Amino acid sequence: MKLFRIRGGVHPDPRKDATREKTIVDAPISAVLHLPLQQHIGAPARPVVKVGDHVLKGQVIAEAAGPVSATVHASTSGAVAAIGPVPVPHASGLAAPAITLAPDGKDTWAEPMPPLPDDAEPAAIAARVAAAGIVGLGGATFPSAVKLNLRERHKLTTLVMNGAECEPFLTCDDRLMREHAEEVAAGVALMARALGVGRTLIAIETNKPEATAAMTEAAALHPGIDVAPVPTRYPMGSEKHLVHTLTGLETPARALTADIGVVVHNIATAFAVYEAVKLGRPLVSRVVTVSGGAVAEPKNLRAVLGTPISDLIALCGGLTAEPQEILSGGPMMGQPLRSTDIPTVKGMNGILALLPSDTRRGPAHACLRCGTCVTACPCGLLPLEIAANIRNGNFDAAVSAGLMDCIGCGSCAYACPSRIPLVQSFHYAKGHIAAEQRVKQHNEEAKRLAQQKAIRQEKLAAERKAMMEKKKAAAAAARAAQEGTAEP
């Protein structure tokens, strides 16, 4: 198959050997499970249970609120112990609302949803995916049903299944494809049917030959689905770049891949779709790679949602040393965590406990203008120039130099010999600009309201004046009439 070359990218040390041969192991149910109401992009789900309710595994405990939202299901049977804020996987370390379950230890499933037939209507498949609370499991966590319904607004030709898994350390998708190739392929076929596309490509980086072989065999049963080995180069898993590599089509800035007829879904999402459609099971668990230099025995664990990550790390023999950083996700784009006292959520594909030798953090030096970041950037940006503008407080210049086109992949900062925290600088600037816009919007709104009030008051005053004059005139007329009657 002909592939198209994209610019930039880096070759980070893959570090996948620690877990790539580790079979997925089921993690036992923890003593307490916290299920955040927002494990997806969009509006938080709305709780439909009360404290004290007994729930079964797979039962809806919070339903999607609005078109872009996702339902949350009980991930085991037990009692609703609390509904309130708990620490969640977010860099801020702030708490967010969640439903806390006290498992009863029986792990009893609720009545499954009825399986859908192979010739189910596309809309029925999408509806089932929504009912199952499935979101993009590669980490993006966008509600999958919304993406499966893109056929309504876009002329779609191709489904790209992202099995690139370009982040170092992570092997959860690799293992899923190797151990559950048939289920994944069946899920892919269902998604292709929901989208109404004629062509489906399963993209797998060339460093996963076993997964490629397994998926090729499984995909042979489904016409129109092909496996496409793609070069091992970060960020191959970036949606727009993966589509470009496979099809040669470039997604315009600020547009979606759907605008060029392509939809991208993650391979783990396909497995969840299979379980939802064919087994009637909602999304209550996921595969998490637990790895990093500080983890005693790195593993791939299938954990029910809500499992505290401290339990997952303990299942891997605990930590051998104080980690420099604990991450949710891969080392390139993962989120640093402030504590291990947080639950496993839908988008969590990895828990990494990294040592200084993994992060290779060090002192920053002055920018040499060496251009390494320019060569590394997959988006054709000049990271050094954007960062210099940000440093000088010149945010407008940073934006016109392409700040908003940055996908935050971190290739520039990874390659920078002066270790300049480029991504941090871009995040800071984006946050600053967003805050500025909020203030601006707020001020404009206040100004508009003040103006309206002034207009309103003027009108009122005018009305009052008119009324007074009318009254005065009426009084004068009455007086005149009275005088008139008195005169003769």
Q: Which residues, numbered 412-441, are part of the site for other proteins (CB under 8 A)?
A: 413-415, 417-419, 421, 423-424, 427
Q: Name residues contacting other proteins, limited to 228-257 (CB under 8 A).
A: 240-241, 247, 249-255
Phi, psi of 288 (to 5 degrees): -125, 130
Does residue number 402 form part of the binding site for other proteins (CB under 8 A)?
yes
**Binding residue for other proteins (CB under 8 A) from 5, 106, 153, 369?**
369
Interaction of residue 380 with other proteins, rule CB under 8 A: yes
CB of 218 to other proteins, least distance (A): 23
Site stretch for other proteins (CB under 8 A), options 79-87, 215-223, 334-342, 444-452: 334-342
Q: Which of residues 188-207 bind other proteins (CB under 8 A)?
A: 199
Q: Of 225-233, 273-281, 326-334, 434-442, which part binds other proteins (CB under 8 A)?
A: 326-334
Instruction: Note whether 226 binds other proteins by CB under 8 A.
Output: no
| Stretch near other proteins under the rule CB under 8 A, chosen from 62-70, 113-121, 272-280, 364-372 | 364-372
Count, residues in the chain: 488
**Is 358 among the residues that bind other proteins (CB under 8 A)?**
yes
Q: Which is nearer to other proteins, 7 or 479 (CB)?
A: 7
Q: How far is the CB of 253 from other proteins (least distance, A)?
A: 4
Of residues 214 and 422, the one with the C-beta less far from other proteins: 422
CB of 225 to other proteins, least distance (A): 15
Euclidean distance between CA atoms 243 and 406, whole angstroms: 17
At residue 262, the 3 state secondary structure works out as: strand
Q: 119-178: which residues touch other proteins (CB under 8 A)?
A: 154-155, 157-158, 168
| Alpha-carbon span 326 to 90, nearest angstrom | 12
Give the strand order in the sheet containing 350-354: 25-26, 299-304, 285-291, 350-354, 325-328, 335-336
Stretch that binds other proteins, among 10-18, 56-64, 97-105, 143-151 (CB under 8 A): 10-18
Nearest to 228 by CA among 249, 212, 210, 244: 212
Please name which of 288, 335, 295 lies closest in space to residue 313, comparing C-alpha atoms. Answer: 295
Determine which helix (DSSP H) or strand (DSSP E) holds 439, and give its type and residue range: helix 422-486
Per-residue exposure over 152-171, b if at least 16 CB sit within 10 Å of its own CB, e if not: eebebbbbbbbbbbbbbbbb
Residue with tokens 């992060």: 359
Beta-carbon contacts of 330 under 8 Å, excluding residues fewer than 6 positions away, are 167, 168, 169, 170, 349, 350, 352
Q: Which of residues 282-311 bind other proteins (CB under 8 A)?
A: none
Q: Looking at 332, 351, 390, 398, which residue binds other proteins (CB under 8 A)?
A: 332
Distance of CA 412 to the CA centre of its chain: 22
Radius of gyration of the chain (CA): 29
Kindly state whether residue 46 participates in binding other proteins, applying the rule CB under 8 A: no
Looking up tokens 């299920």, which residue turns up?
A: 35
Smallest distance, Å, CB 89 to other proteins? 14
